[in-house]
Amino acid sequence: MNISDLHVLPPGDWSAIGRDFRWSIPASFSMARACCDDWAAFEPGRTAIIDLAEDGTRIVWTFGALKDASDRLAAAMRGAGVTKGDRVAIFLSQCPEVMVAHFAAMKLGAVVLPLFTLFGADALAFRLADSGAMLGVTDDAHLDRLISAAAGGPLHTIVTTGARVHNGAPRVMAWEDALRGAAGGFRPEVVGAEDPAVLIYTSGTTGAPKGALHAHRFLLGHLPSVEMVLERPRAGDVGWTPADWAWIGGLMDLAMPTLYFGLPLVSQRMRKFDPEAAFRLIRDERISVMFLPPTALKLMRQAAVPAGLSVRAIGSGGESLGADLLAWGRDELCAPINELYGQTECNLVVSSSAGLGVLKPGTMGRAVPGHDVAVIDAQGAPVPAGEVGEIAVRRGDPVMFLGYWNLPEKTAEKFVGDWLRTGDLGRTDDEGYLTYVSRDDDVITSAGYRIGPTEIENCLIGDADVVNAAAVGVPDPVRSEIVKAFVVLRDGVSQDGVAERLVQRVRDRVSPHVAPRAVEFVAALPVTATGKIIRRALRERE
């Protein structure tokens, strides 16, 4: 089985790909089979996951080992009463056991509920109760928190990768005990492309978290963008992302596609992102394709780039990168940083790709083949090029969610006619390139102007002394709002004269009418677990 045989984009240049692409979604498609069992049958000794522990231990998992472990865990889950459609919570940091648990649950036709290990008690309890998860997988370090959060709910069994066990409520099984059963007699459930596979809760930046339910086909829906952003995955590539696999970015922008293409996936538990450690990891493991959130890239730009890197392509998304950061990747890492765009409900629908000539600094790229993306008005009609409107994706896309868990009215509100509304404002140009403007609620209204924060932030971050920046509107009696910038400076940089210099930079490079009228230096910006700036929190401070 050749990796190129798994590519969904046809060969050729951009115009040929756009002309020749057609979706092919098999009725019986299973993520567990495509990312694990098929490779195990073809080449069981092929490297699947390279796990690097904090103590320096390096363990290689093959696809054969991944299949055997997931079969055994699936049998244990079945014995614990998990059946098709049940929810299985996974409360683990990056490690091979995360993928074992994903595939085990999927082989039963169950729905995986990924949970971020930094969630507090309320966030955990809400997701467990709302989803009705009945079985959980965690480690000893997080076991007590999961037990506490599950109190009074339907979760009755927990498998821990550690050694703690008890027969209380919920019952706790050790990983080794769960996997002790014979794998040879296990038979997976029959699942189809439209069957539910993953339940990922939104980050809650625009209200209470909602569970976005996805079908097995959504992996295939991600692949065109992944192929563009990673410049067509090929034999010899090694993949890694610091983004936690509990989020759609870490899981579906890099981790699952890497295994789908039969490539080694590096897993490492990073308690806090360290740019120097990240560079050492990239060099030592010869990592060539990555998904790096903008926050990680901005921190890495402040560190020395070591010699001997094998970087071939980087994908990034969640916040606009700006021309300066893209140029740094090209000049210092000798690899393109290709932007991508999507959201939990409908991911990776817009991308850039330097190798395909789809690259224009300041834009996110173009609509990925197979995805019908438009900028629409409030009534759902596409607006002309150059006009700001809401980014939308046409209904029926294979990467699109099945709906919000137990929230049919919220699902209906997400659509206007045949368009899924993203809540993001943007505009297209005459060549079809799409520029992100802001979240609908992040727009700044000042002296009659509607100002998006993205251009301002990109300009500020282009300064060599700036690590990160956010722009928000704060109340003003004359102008309705003024632009205020919150800026994180590089360690050791004096603030003297920097505010004036940054304001002038925006005046000169963007426009005087969007230049900040106030600048505040902060140690860090409030961000979601996925690294997106929470501008709402900054506005509330004011």
Give percent of the chain above pLDDT 90.
76
Task: Retrieve residue 205's tokens.
Answer: 């930046």
pTM of the predicted protein model: 0.85
What integer pLDDT is reported at residue 202 of this predicted model? 84
What integer pLDDT is reported at residue 103 of this predicted model? 98
Task: Retrieve residue 418's tokens.
Answer: 């045949």
- Which of 388-392, 444-448, 531-535 is modeled with the greatest confidence? 388-392
Domain with CATH 3.30.300.30 in the chain: 443-541
Range scoring the smallest mean pLDDT among 153-157, 375-379, 452-456: 452-456
CATH code reported for the domain at 26-216:
3.40.50.12780
Q: Which residue reads 């490539």 in tokens?
A: 263
Binning pLDDT at 50, 70 and 90, where does residue 298 land?
A: confident
From 238, 233, 251, 201, select the one nearest 99 (Cα to Cα).
Answer: 251
Rounded to an integer, what distance in angstroms lies between the CA atom of residue 459 and that of residue 507?
10
Give the mean model confidence (pLDDT) for residues 357-384: 95
What integer pLDDT is reported at residue 433 of this predicted model? 97
What integer pLDDT is reported at residue 275 of this predicted model? 94
Rounded to an integer, what distance in angstroms lies between the CA atom of residue 269 and that of residue 240?
12
The tens digit of pLDDT for each residue in 438-457 reads 776 676 867 656 576 877 88
Rounded to an integer, what distance in angstroms lies between the CA atom of residue 44 and that of residue 66?
9
Give the mean model confidence (pLDDT) for residues 107-116: 97
Q: Does the pLDDT of residue 529 top 70, yes or no? A: no
Q: Does the pLDDT of residue 242 top 60, yes or no? A: yes
Report the mean per-residue pLDDT for the chain. 92
Q: Does the pLDDT of residue 175 top 80, yes or no? A: yes
What integer pLDDT is reported at residue 418 of this predicted model? 96
Binning pLDDT at 50, 70 and 90, where does residue 220 land?
A: very high
Torsion angle of the four alpha carbons 159, 163, 168, 170, in this order, in degrees rounded to the nearest 10: -20
Q: Does the pLDDT of residue 459 top 90, yes or no? A: no
Are the C-beta atoms of 87 and 131 separated by less than 8 Å?
A: yes
Verify cis geometry, omega within 30 degrees of 0, for the bond prior to 10.
Answer: no
- Paired strand residues for 475: 481
What integer pLDDT is reported at residue 208 of this predicted model? 67
What integer pLDDT is reported at residue 52 of this predicted model? 96
What integer pLDDT is reported at residue 207 of this predicted model? 54
Q: Does the pLDDT of residue 530 top 70, yes or no? A: no
Q: Which CATH superfamily is domain 443-541 in?
A: ANL, C-terminal domain (3.30.300.30)
Binning pLDDT at 50, 70 and 90, where does residue 213 land?
A: very high
What integer pLDDT is reported at residue 447 of this predicted model? 60
Q: Does the pLDDT of residue 294 top 90, yes or no? A: no
The tens digit of pLDDT for each residue in 190-210 reads 999 999 999 999 865 445 689
Give the mean model confidence (pLDDT) for residues 170-184: 88
Angle between the 140-149 and 121-131 helix axes, to the nearest 10 degrees? Answer: 60
What integer pLDDT is reported at residue 478 of this predicted model? 66
Q: Does the pLDDT of residue 251 top 60, yes or no? A: yes
Give the mean model confidence (pLDDT) for residues 202-224: 85
What integer pLDDT is reported at residue 511 of this predicted model? 77
Considering only residues 367 and 512, tell me which one the structure prediction assigns the higher pLDDT. Answer: 367
What integer pLDDT is reported at residue 438 of this predicted model? 76
From 436, 370, 364, 408, select the one nearest 221 (Cα to Cα).
Answer: 370
What integer pLDDT is reported at residue 75 of this predicted model? 95
What integer pLDDT is reported at residue 293 of this predicted model? 87
What integer pLDDT is reported at residue 182 of this predicted model? 66
Q: Does the pLDDT of residue 296 top 70, yes or no? A: yes
Give the mean model confidence (pLDDT) for residues 484-490: 95
Binning pLDDT at 50, 70 and 90, where does residue 127 land?
A: very high
What integer pLDDT is reported at residue 308 of this predicted model? 95
Binning pLDDT at 50, 70 and 90, where does residue 44 land?
A: very high
Q: Does the pLDDT of residue 469 top 70, yes or no? A: yes
What integer pLDDT is reported at residue 375 of this predicted model? 98
Rounded to an integer, what distance in angstroms lies between the CA atom of residue 447 and that of residue 480?
7
Domain with CATH 3.40.50.12780 in the chain: 26-216
Pairing mode, if any, of strands 518-521 and 480-489? parallel
* AA letter at 37: D
Provide φ and ψ at 185, rounded to 5°. -90, 0
Give the mean model confidence (pLDDT) for residues 108-126: 90
